[in-house]
Amino acid sequence: MSKKLTHLDDCGRPQMVDVGAKPMTERMARAEAWVRTTAEAIDAIRNSQVKKGDVLRIAELAGIQGAKRTADLIPLCHPLPIDSVTVTTEIHGETIRIEATVSAYWKTGVEMEALAAVNAAALTVYDMTKSIDKGIVIETVRLLEKRGGRSGDWLVSGS
Is there a domain that residue 3 lies in? no
What pLDDT tens digit does each residue of the chain (159 aa) get?
455 657 888 888 888 888 878 889 999 999 999 999 999 999 999 999 999 999 999 999 999 999 999 999 999 999 999 999 999 999 999 999 999 999 999 999 999 999 999 999 999 999 999 999 999 999 999 999 999 998 899 999 976
Task: Sort residue 55 into left (φ over 0), alpha (ψ -120 to 50) or beta.
Answer: alpha
Task: Quote the domain boundaries for residue 58.
Answer: 25-148
> Based on the structure, what is the number of domains in the chain?
1
**Does 10 map to a domain?**
no
Give residue 2's pLDDT.
52
Assess whether 127 carries a catalytic annotation.
yes
Structure confidence by residue, pLDDT tens digits, 32-63 = 999 999 999 999 999 999 999 999 999 999 99
* 130 found inside a domain: yes
User: Residue 159 falls within a domain, yes or no?
Assistant: no
What CATH number should be reported for the domain holding residue 122?
Answer: 3.30.70.640
Point out the catalytic residue in the list 10, 18, 127, 153. 127
Instruction: Decide if 16 is inside a domain.
Output: no
